[in-house]
Amino acid sequence: MRVIGSALTLILSGLAQASGTAAPSLRWETLAPMPIGVQEIYPAVHGGRLVVAGGLSSELPAAQGHLSDALQIYDPASGRWSLGPRLPEGRHHAQLLSLAQSLYLIGGFVRCEGGDWCASREVLRLDDGSARWQRLGALPQALTESTAFVQQGQIHLVSGRSPRGEANAQWGDHGDVAWHWVYDAKADRWRALADGPEIKSSAAALVTGEQAWLIGGRQYNGANLRSVHRLDAASGRWQAEAPLAFAQAAHGVGLLGGADQPLICSVGGETAENGGGMLGQVQCRALKEGRWQVMGEMPEPRHGLGVLSLNGQLYAIGGARQPGLTQTSPRLDRLSLSPSSTRP
């Protein structure tokens, strides 16, 4: 395990002033790398472990579409990775979610006749203790690069990309959507809600209590978005929140810090502006305050990574060091929020 020094940490003085405590700072640790480095992943926390399903990798053979069918599991207690039951086939940009005693893998791209970017309608489930994934009822329509979360025991999918017409084999065959679907796992049934706040894909989401947050993303023309929206479970309405400090897509978000003063932090991503490149800055906001601030840098900027929250810490998993399917990384970094000895 390698600790990234405090030179990469900046002070979020507003939090310290509000609480009268030492200003928080970022602390990165590099943990054991993944067995198979992958990108374009949407992992999940399940049973206190980090779980990654499928993904793309520049290090896997082109003959198999650079696709992974592996289920990779990291146990923070032991610091070790293991492999679980393989997927029925490799896929990327699929949403993995934990609900009760099962994992659900939804949509994404699979190989098909004519290309490696066939948007899928499949819903797969892996029950605890099972050695095989089950196929469930299909999505209303094929959907990929969506944003997913669990709220009040149901799975939500918001926005993403879906085939514009009959063609469904290349990335350019798909367009952005604003759909918002809810899945009742007990009934194995989907229902449509009113569309989400924006037509976009490659956004990120998290849930805080009765609120779900939809953060960033991009639109088909390549422009990243600064928009942030919050969904209230009781009213079912989306409300615009303060925008990001900078536009972000192909990133991940999570809660950092203790329950008394958690931060929402957004990590990683890529941009098509100015010739394209990686986004290495970490931006955060206090859960109860509206302003986003840049707090520091990632030790290795990546896009298409997975970001998960567990026990007040963030885990940045995999991704790619360069735009596109280039230099896929097996890296696993952990981000903690620790008091600084410096007071504002």
Residue 121 contacts residue 114 (beta carbons within 8 Å): no
What's the pLDDT score for residue 259? 80
Asked whether residue 173 is domain-assigned, the answer is: yes
Non-local (6+) Cβ contacts of 109 within 8 A are: 91, 92, 93, 94, 116, 117, 118, 119, 120, 144
Asked whether residue 84 is domain-assigned, the answer is: yes
What number of other Cβ atoms are within 10 A of residue 314's Cβ?
26
Asked whether residue 62 is domain-assigned, the answer is: yes
- Total domains present in the chain: 1
Spatial distance between the Cα atoms of 101 and 130, rounded to a whole number of angstroms = 11
Asked whether residue 41 is domain-assigned, the answer is: yes
* Sequence-ordered alpha helix ranges (H) in the chain: 13-19
**Tokens (6 digits) for 159:** 């926005």
CATH number for the domain that contains residue 103? 2.120.10.80
The domain containing residue 215 runs over which residues?
Answer: 2-23+32-339
Residue 160 contacts residue 143 (beta carbons within 8 Å): yes
- Nearest C-alpha neighbor of 8 from the set 263, 273, 307, 301: 301
What's the longest Cα–Cα distance across the chain?
A: 61
Asked whether residue 329 is domain-assigned, the answer is: yes
What's the pLDDT score for residue 4? 37
Spatial distance between the Cα atoms of 77 and 226, rounded to a whole number of angstroms = 36
Asked whether residue 143 is domain-assigned, the answer is: yes
What's the pLDDT score for residue 18? 42
Asked whether residue 344 is domain-assigned, the answer is: no
What's the pLDDT score for residue 10? 36
Residue 158 contacts residue 179 (beta carbons within 8 Å): yes
Asked whether residue 303 is domain-assigned, the answer is: yes
What's the pLDDT score for residue 23? 55
- Mean pLDDT per block of 10 residues along the chain (344 residues) reads 36 44 79 99 99 98 96 99 99 98 98 94 98 97 98 97 96 96 96 97 96 96 92 93 98 92 96 90 92 96 98 98 97 88 29
